[in-house]
């Protein structure tokens, strides 16, 4: 499993410069009611990060056309089914990976998206 060592950044540090959306902001961007965002979270199509008791969704989980990036739910499902916690999945997606290069979450928006899915599948075994 993906583990966080003491030299790795915390999730707070990894997401410090990330644009994080509240659930109502996410609903507005997606053009849906906020209860639909709750459904996406409970169905593991999106993940939320908790800061000061508020659930926040990384804007990088959304595509250019204000839709959920088509690869995000697949990666979440693969890793979740493989026993990874939401926090471990977020940590993996937002940690720099020199072999990609960059962060897996950014690679999901480009030609390396399928490579991230392949790696998630291998990690889940």
Buried b (16+ CB within 10 A) or exposed e, 19-54: ebbebebbbebbeeeeeebeebbeeebbbbbeeeee
- Does residue 97 sit within a domain? yes
Query: One digit per residue, pLDDT tens: the chain, 125 residues?
Result: 455 443 478 999 999 999 999 999 999 999 999 999 999 999 999 999 999 999 999 999 999 888 999 999 999 999 999 999 999 999 999 999 988 889 999 999 999 999 999 999 999 88
- Does residue 118 sit within a domain? yes
- Does residue 1 sit within a domain? no
**Which residues span the domain enclosing 21?**
13-124
- Does residue 88 sit within a domain? yes
- Does residue 77 sit within a domain? yes
The tokens describing 54, both together, are 């508020």
- Does residue 8 sit within a domain? no
Query: Per the structure, how many domains does the chain have?
Result: 1
- Does residue 65 sit within a domain? yes
Query: pTM of the full predicted structure?
Result: 0.90
Instruction: Using CA atoms of 62, 34, 29, 47 in order, give the dihedral in degrees to the nearest 10.
Output: -20
């Amino acid at each position: 499993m993906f583990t966080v060592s003491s030299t790795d950044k915390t999730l707070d540090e990894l997401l410090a410069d990330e644009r994080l959306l509240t659930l109502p902001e996410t609903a507005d961007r997606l053009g849906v009611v906020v209860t639909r965002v709750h459904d996406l979270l409970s169905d593991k199509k999106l993940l939320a990060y908790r800061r000061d008791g508020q659930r926040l969704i990384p804007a990088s989980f959304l595509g250019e056309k204000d839709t959920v990036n088509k690869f995000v739910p697949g990666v979440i499902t693969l890793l979740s089914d493989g026993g990874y916690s939401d926090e471990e999945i977020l940590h993996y997606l937002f940690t720099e990976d020199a072999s990609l290069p960059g962060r897996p979450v950014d690679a999901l928006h480009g030609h390396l998206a399928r490579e991230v899915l392949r790696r998630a599948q291998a990690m889940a075994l």
